Structure 1
């Protein structure tokens, strides 16, 4: 099973000191535990926005399961939701046409990041949620699956600073394990369908 991670620094594993504690290896390990043989590739890179997905999809080549994590940099760069969502839609549609099952983790709730002033947290949370909602609709239209990672991990990250790396923005190894646990059910489900 060719598993490919696309998207931003979270998909790429920025913040973890060991590669095996990043999303790709963690998800591959879970799929292997379910009996799948997994060939992992990572096309994601730090700073990527939805506009970068098209090139990542081209670079990925033939993929069975694509996991896309995108949206944080669109939010921090004030990319309009309809623009980023259309770019995400097109990437998911291209992957689906090429035969890949696609699981997407939409924009995180950036209000939990330490750099956000307390007075702005409610606004940042609302904007993050709205962006993720528009992304979700685009992914479903394109035939992808949305993993509701932010619902599961936002309370965890808000309550436990150890889930952040030293930069207080990216996840730590423990943070990546929390995200992988939230992503895994959707990834395992599409992988099981491929082998049904």
Structure 2
């Protein structure tokens, strides 16, 4: 009943939502992807092959350099227990469709853990739930069959209903779409131990956001990386 009400409200408010979306795109600062290494070997301990793929958040937009971004902090945290051979392949604007195409075209190379961050662009571009699920199935199939990946960690779409850069009711609308995609993926992957939807639970504090009010800042990347580190240590311990 509430979903039907929400859909009707969104249709009624569509001219306002479109106008707000155009305004946000025009006035929101375009932050660059940070400089720094996007592959390497770091740490000591058991070997761990790590691939990070995705969109602008995966690429570290909002951080000053890759060491402050998701990849740099995650590799640093993991380096205390693993010898991490890692690669970051991420770019601003990518959707789940783009990420699948990237994996399909890549030269197969074995990976122990794949971390994916994608979804915000699918929300803003209106990717249907059916396509969202089917493309994740394709991603999982490629990761397991071509990369021999044992652990696939899919970061949930962040809480867009809390993004400071978005005015109401656009913030509400995109937040609802994000929740719908997250819920659908969590339900679809329930009971599949090799795949996990990871929800870091970012604190709703301005200090965790970048200057554009749309991307994570270094504190959020650190929080996210710590969360992922704990999960990676857990799943690799049980499968060792």
TM-score range, shorter chain: 0.7 to 0.9
Structure 1 gaps of 5+ residues are none
> Match for residue 6 of structure 1?
53
Match of 2:71 in 1: 24
Give 1:141 deviation, angstroms: 7.3
Q: 1:146 aligns with which of 197, 201, 208?
A: 197
Larger helix percent: 1
**1:171 and 2:216 aligned:** yes
What pairs with 1:36-115 in structure 2 (closer than 5 Å)? Answer: 36-58=82-104, 59=106, 61-97=109-145, 98-100=147-149, 101-115=151-165
The 1-side partners of 2:63 and 2:223 are apart by: 13
In structure 2, the gaps of 5 or more residues are: 1-47
| Structure 1 outlier segments of 4+, above 3 Å | 118-124, 137-143
Q: Offset of 1:140 from its aligned partner?
A: 4.6
Q: CA RMSD in A?
A: 2.0
**1:118 CA displacement:** 3.5
| C-alpha spacing 1:7/1:138, structure 2 compared with 1 (3 Å) | farther
CA distance in 2, matches of 1:10, 1:22: 8
- TM-score normalised per structure 2: 0.71
The residue that corresponds to 2:62 in the other structure is 15
Kindly state the Cα deviation for residue 139 of structure 1 after the two structures are TM-superposed: 4.2
Please tell me whether residue 185 in structure 1 is matched to residue 230 in structure 2. yes
Q: CA shift at 1:56, angstroms?
A: 2.8
SS at match of 2:115: strand
- CA-to-aligned-CA distance 1:105-126 (integer Å, 9 cap, x gap): 1222211111222344444333
What does the per-residue CA deviation read over 1:23-81, in whole Å, with 9 as the maximum and x for residues that have no partner?
11211122222x21001101121111000122332437321110011111100111112
TM-score calculated relative to the size of structure 1: 0.86
2:174 is equivalent to residue 124 of structure 1: yes
Count of matched residue pairs = 188
